[in-house]
Amino acid sequence: MPAHDSAAATPTPLMMANAVRALSMDAVHAARSGHQGMPMGMADVATVLFTGVMKYDAADPQWPDRDRFVLSAGHGSMLLYSLLHLTGVPGIGMDEIRNFRQWGSKTPGHPEYGHTPGVETTTGPLGQGLATAVGMAMAERHLAARFGEDLVDHRTWVVAGDGCLMEGISHEAISLAARLKLDRLTVLFDDNNTTIDGEATIAEIGDQVARFKAAGWAVKRIDGHDFGQIRKALAWAKKQRMPSLIACRTRISKGAGRKEGDPHSHGYTLFDAEIAEAREAMAWTAAPFEIPEPIAAAWREAGAKGGGARRKWAKRLKRSHHRDDFERAVVQNKLPAGAFAGLDAHVAKMAETGPANATRVHSGAALEALVPAIAEMIGGSADLTGSNNTFVKGMTAFDAPDYDGRYVHYGVREHGMAAAMNGMALHGGVIPYSGTFLAFADYSRPAIRLGALMGVRVIHVMTHDSIGLGEDGPTHQPVEHLASLRAIPNLLVFRPADAVEAAECWRVALEAQFTPSIMALSRQKTPAARTVPSAENLCARGAYELAASTVGAARVSLFASGTEVAVAMAAREQLQAAGVGTRVVSTPCWEIFDLQDDLYQIETIGAAPVRIAVEAGVRQGWTRFIGEGGGFVGMTGFGASAPYERLYKEFRITAEHVTELAWAKLEA
């Protein structure tokens, strides 16, 4: 690396990149943890991107028409934090860099959305960032079609490493992006042939560039330390009609003396002597956490470069006839006025007519009232549209070249789909929902978890929610899924019992602006539970008394969700006929019930001496309602392949079993 005196002369791109290197080294050294290898390796590429290519204004990291930058290789967080600091993002002063990875800092170990201004998405679980970026690029194209390119005209840039591209989710993400021709998406591959265990080739024989090409991407290989090649490649990417990959051949820990290129420097904290050697190699004379003023000024200037474009954009928005809608939907992420007028009418009709049907069908009917009223909703399915009831008549496919369609054919890509939905919601202006089977929530789970951590409004429709799906058998029958999803913080798991509840749950999910939701829905028919109109959205309480005792004080409280509410209601009939006061509590969403005040919770759980829960899943978690000594009727193992009526009988999820258990407890 040629020597430069970092304190003098007009800063060259290399000197500016070395500022990123120095900060990354210093921060990791101070924290005695973290990764400077990747930030040092990609500093040159990132410097060209942030000083001359990307559209952004550091002063306003929320500007809706900014280019999105996603650091999929989230362990290299110091690359991003250095860039945010150097370009002048408000709130990311040098103290934040000094406090890298410390309690209360804005610079956590991995980038966290909502925690650090300028961080577009939470990354760290490798591959997620790349797949999330696909969703951002989808949202951009859709909103450009809706509002016009004078308001929406930006790109999505991703830095991904060997790890991201080894992860399976990358396959789903890149094939979906290619199919949708997301030409505003560029992946900058940190092609350093290094992972934690050593050279990537100890576990990889494939050619990533050839893989992307085969998937349908425009591809290019460059030397990631040659500023001319980087510049040309980024300009090339902007001209492609397909998503583009630039494989940037880099050396990990570039600039770090003898550690440069050493595979073991991935997450290695440099010793003092090694840092001194690196500073010498880079001719970096400034003290730790100090940036020579000419370099700092050049970075600030780069960060402010987009200010003019942003102000012009703001003027265009002011004049636009889309202004109100854009501000509501994209800037504030608010629902339109009258979003639920159709749904309210539907609920009233359902309470009156009480149709028996599968809750997936009821959900589809709710969507028929919602999708036309809320233009931000973009639906889809992982190739199970007919089963998930996610398609509403009149929707058209989201596809090139005209991206105004609102239905995404995600293909059989549950993980990529869930991550893309996170990206769409993060982008803003879109409320994504999509479908698969509940048993395959496991395929989406890493993205569901990240969505919950980030607090994004995405709605996962998950049908075929129990052994009630019948003949497909135990591979497809969720048993532990409700419990395992309920274990994820900040995730609403809805399991409605009928048409009214399905509609009510949809409303709550849509109103939860900072929380993702699961809509667990049945394949099989179930009778209506709510046949008396109610002015209140009872599901917005999470759990509520559906039927009180009519034969004196309740001696038995039955708790159930979804299709098992009908089982509980039938058991109540039997018990009450025998003179046992019995009430039924429907529990469509536990997480919301937990938010109710103590009095409501105590009253809803009630004082009956016998408490029994019914759910066609495992018992885990039900103690919440029935206590340690309560009875449970549900599953204790995997299901089986047979018609569902037979399965309910064989696994004893029946009114008779509930009644029997109640008597045993009453007489105990």
Ligand X SMILES: Cc1ncc(C[n+]2csc(CCOP(=O)(O)OP(=O)(O)O)c2C)c(N)n1
Question: Which residues of this chain interact with ligand X, rule CB under 6 A?
Answer: 35, 37-38, 73, 75-76, 124-126, 161-164, 167, 190, 192, 194-196, 200, 252, 266
Provide the token pair at 436: 């698969």
Q: Which residues of 477-504 are buried (b: 16+ CB within 10 A; e: fewer)?
A: bbbebbbbbbebebbbbbbbbbbbbbbb
Query: Is 4 or 75 the residue whose CB approaches ligand X more closely?
Result: 75
Which amino acid, residue 434?
Answer: S
The nearest distance, CB 116 to ligand X, in angstroms, is: 18
Answer for the pair 653, 567: CB distance below 8 angstroms, yes or no: yes
Burial class (CB in 10 A: 0-12, 13-18, 19+), 330: buried
Query: Is 79 or 176 the residue whose CB approaches ligand X more closely?
Result: 79
The nearest distance, CB 46 to ligand X, in angstroms, is: 14
Query: Is 433 or 443 the residue whose CB approaches ligand X more closely?
Result: 443
Using left for φ > 0, alpha for ψ between -120 and 50, and beta otherwise, residue 265 falls in alpha
Q: Which residues of 127-152 are buried (b: 16+ CB within 10 A; e: fewer)?
A: bbbbbbbbbbbbbbbbbbbbbeeebb
Please report, for the chain, how many H helices and E strands are present, in that order: 26, 20
The nearest distance, CB 265 to ligand X, in angstroms, is: 9
Sheet of strand 582-586, all strands in order from the earlier edge strand to the far edge: 544-547, 582-586, 556-560, 610-614, 631-633
Coil vs helix vs strand at 645: helix
Query: Of 96, 172, 414, 615, which one is the catalytic site residue?
Result: 414
The nearest distance, CB 245 to ligand X, in angstroms, is: 15
The nearest distance, CB 41 to ligand X, in angstroms, is: 7
Locate tokens 């064989």: which residue? Answer: 650
Contacts of 392 (CB under 8 A, 6+ apart): 364, 367, 368, 371, 372, 379
The nearest distance, CB 250 to ligand X, in angstroms, is: 8
Answer for the pair 392, 364: CB distance below 8 angstroms, yes or no: yes
The nearest distance, CB 657 to ligand X, in angstroms, is: 42
Distance separating alpha carbons of residues 61 and 569, to the nearest angstrom = 53
Torsion over CA: 80, 112, 110, 192 (sign): negative
Phi, psi of 164 (to 5 degrees): -60, -40
Reply yes or no: is the peptide bond before residue 401 cis, omega within 30 of 0: yes
The nearest distance, CB 160 to ligand X, in angstroms, is: 7
Distance separating alpha carbons of residues 342 and 374, to the nearest angstrom = 11
Instruction: Let me know the angle formed at the C-alpha of 637 by 632 and 639, rounded to the nearest 5 degrees.
Output: 105
414 noted as active-site residue: yes
Distance separating alpha carbons of residues 542 and 194, to the nearest angstrom = 48
The nearest distance, CB 392 to ligand X, in angstroms, is: 35
Which amino acid, residue 289?
Answer: F
Query: Is 75 or 322 the residue whose CB approaches ligand X more closely?
Result: 75
User: Nearest residue by C-beta to ligand X?
Assistant: 161
Q: Which of 370, 413, 402, 416 is nearest to 389 (CA)?
A: 370
Known catalytic residues are 414
